[in-house]
Structure 1
Amino acid sequence: MLVNMNDILLPAKEGKYGVGFFNAVNVEMARAIIETAEELQAPVMVGTAEVLLPATELNLVADYLIPMAKKASVPVCVHYDHGLTFERCMEALKLGFTSVMYDCSTVSYEENVERVAEMVKICHAMGVTVEAELGHVGDNAGAGKLENPEDYYTDPDTALDYITRTGADSLAVAVGNAHGDYAFPPKLDFDRIDVISKKVNIPLVLHGGSGLADNDFRQAVQLGVSKVNIFTDIDKAGKAGVEAGIAAGERTMMGLIAYEIDAMKKVVAEKIRLFGSEGKAC
């Protein structure tokens, strides 16, 4: 069933379990995610991000994801992640996405507040939920890599003011996490997660989940992280599945699909169980 983010994350926060958000840039990814969630009776969030649109445009993602979510036997939120522009977020709304992240983390604090508050007002009038980011989660490599990530960590006192003024439904925090592959094991600031969670009292979001240690996930969820973003792990699994199919003698795309989906389903199942959301759709 198609739901919004609050329908999934508020019970998760109350129950102290996490819910995976998985990007799905093709139908095979979408099948792997939703089919696994159904098999494990777990709520799930699925969608795409603005940075991924060169792979598959937003309208095409909506064409397969929203009907699949509506037909699913478990709660599925279709989320537009890291929306960088007002126009693209509005496009996601018009296409039927039930949740958007309006990422204004690179502008000034006051501008971030103003933009997100406006987005919340529009989205809430349509029954759509909004994720925001305070501080800034950089990348592990490339142009988005931060020289001193600690300078961009989320400040707990500022977070309370931010949520009070914007009304955002969930908050992505910068606490030692980063997007992409980790060159070295990250060190999450668990004390910071704990303090922020107690101050804002809304679901927290951990971006850059691929590559974190299992115990990091478990501790973060217990301290208030209700949504964990995963893409790199499932993306690499799909590639490995295709390679396994080729090694097994498959020579057509049709023959490789089963290998691709099977490999990604294993990753999705592993994360659902790790976050503690298995059986929570019952």
Structure 2
Amino acid sequence: MTLISTTPMLEKARADKHGIVAFNVHSFDSIYWVLEAAAEMKSPVILQTTVGTVRSLGAKNIVEVAKSASEHFSIPTGLHLDHCTDFQVIKEAIRAGYTSVMIDASMHPFEENVARTQEVMKLAKSLGVNVEAELGKVGGVEDDIVVAEEDAQKAIPAECRQFVELTGVPTLAPAIGTAHGIYKGKPNIDFDRIADIADLVDVPLVLHGGSAVPIEEVKRCVSFGMAKVNVSTELKNAYSKAIKVHFEQEPDSLDPRAYLQKAKEAAIEMAKSKIKMVGSENKVVPSFV
């Protein structure tokens, strides 16, 4: 098993009314932890990295480690570049071997968002690389992209249909009331808006800001066609807290194998719970292997 395009994976998920979790990974260790969890659950999975992680670890290095881990665990795995505003970084990721990229031009007027997405589609489509774009503005913080709560804007269903028709983009992330990071209050998800968008758009939809959204609300989003569910903050918090607890309990235990084992266990349990949440366990089928 090597890295695969997320397009057929997500199209099948939407058709079968389950989701695929896209986990943000921030280290080489966490790539293996996520795939070990997916292997235990027999679930397809998407690894995704922010631009900051690409700058930190290197796109080629990330691809090689992700390929190796995918082959080791023999699980259908996509590798996605999340929330990228820089066309040059997108080109770097595609050349390195990423199988999916997100062009985030949601901060621009509709026409410019279309034009920038079309530019990425010209590069990616012939290579079989999935492209994700965003309409509206998801609140919160994602790397260097900060959208204040008062500036967050929900996607307009009719614009979503027009956007997909104009760009041919195979996956769409409409802003529907979620936010990046951990919520200070209760998420205010606009389910009617999701249903309206799903009625007008055939491509798989993407739920950004999936961390800490109540399980039943995520399941409802998935049932409407949100096939890709992004999880970042909860995963990194789980393994970071495990390391913190290790040093609180054993301050002189400095062996990385000890504290990273605890981080691994926390990450795997968190990842398995999210895979179960979207209903993708036992979805590895012969066509993927």
Shorter chain as normaliser: what TM range?
over 0.9
Residues 202-250 of structure 1 show CA distances to partners (whole Å, capped at 9, x for unaligned) of 1100111111111110110111110011110010011122123334533
Cα distance 1:143–1:275, how it changes in 2: closer, same or farther (>3 A)?
Answer: closer
Deviation, structure 1 residue 140: 6.2
* Corresponding position of 1:101: 102
User: 269, 274, 280: which one pairs with 1:271?
Assistant: 274
Cα distance 1:182–1:203, how it changes in 2: closer, same or farther (>3 A)?
Answer: same
3-state DSSP class of the match of 2:57?
A: coil
Whole-angstrom distance in 2 between the partners of 1:185 and 1:102: 28
Residues 143-188 of structure 1 show CA distances to partners (whole Å, capped at 9, x for unaligned) of 72334356x1100001000000101111011111111111001110
Residues 57-116 of structure 1 show CA distances to partners (whole Å, capped at 9, x for unaligned) of 333322312332244312100111111110000000010001111111111211110111
Deviation, structure 1 residue 25: 1.4
Whole-angstrom distance in 1 between the partners of 2:248 and 2:129: 45
Q: Which residue identity does 1:256 align to in structure 2?
A: Y
**Which runs of structure 2 are paired with 1:106-255 in the superposition (5 Å)?**
106-139=107-140, 144-149=146-151, 152-249=153-250, 250-255=253-258
Whole-angstrom distance in 1 between the partners of 2:147 and 2:110: 20
- Asked if 1 retains the 8 angstrom alpha-carbon contact of 2:180 and 2:208, the reply is yes
**Within the alignment, does 1:48 sit opposite 2:49 as a pair?**
yes
Counting matched residue pairs gives 281
Whole-angstrom distance in 2 between the partners of 1:147 and 1:271: 26
3-state DSSP class of the match of 1:144?
A: strand
* Corresponding position of 1:259: 262
Whole-angstrom distance in 1 between the partners of 2:163 and 2:80: 22
TM-score scaled by structure 2?
A: 0.92
3-state DSSP class of the match of 2:48?
A: strand
TM-score scaled by structure 1?
A: 0.94
Q: Which residue identity does 1:144 align to in structure 2?
A: V
3-state DSSP class of the match of 1:3?
A: coil
Cα distance 1:147–1:74, how it changes in 2: closer, same or farther (>3 A)?
Answer: closer
- Asked if 2 retains the 8 angstrom alpha-carbon contact of 1:82 and 1:101, the reply is yes
Deviation, structure 1 residue 43: 0.4
Whole-angstrom distance in 2 between the partners of 1:254 and 1:276: 32
3-state DSSP class of the match of 2:140?
A: coil
Whole-angstrom distance in 1 between the partners of 2:81 and 2:267: 21
Structure 1: segments with no counterpart, 5+ residues: none
- Asked if 1 retains the 8 angstrom alpha-carbon contact of 2:121 and 2:131, the reply is yes
Whole-angstrom distance in 1 between the partners of 2:55 and 2:127: 27
Structure 2: segments with no counterpart, 5+ residues: none
- Asked if 2 retains the 8 angstrom alpha-carbon contact of 1:25 and 1:61, the reply is no
Deviation, structure 1 residue 123: 0.5
- Asked if 2 retains the 8 angstrom alpha-carbon contact of 1:5 and 1:98, the reply is yes
Q: CA RMSD in A?
A: 1.8
Cα distance 1:220–1:79, how it changes in 2: closer, same or farther (>3 A)?
Answer: same
- Asked if 2 retains the 8 angstrom alpha-carbon contact of 1:66 and 1:78, the reply is no
Whole-angstrom distance in 2 between the partners of 1:143 and 1:23: 15
Whole-angstrom distance in 1 between the partners of 2:18 and 2:162: 26
Deviation, structure 1 residue 139: 0.6
Whole-angstrom distance in 1 between the partners of 2:132 and 2:268: 26
3-state DSSP class of the match of 1:178?
A: coil
Whole-angstrom distance in 2 between the partners of 1:143 and 1:119: 19
Cα distance 1:146–1:243, how it changes in 2: closer, same or farther (>3 A)?
Answer: closer
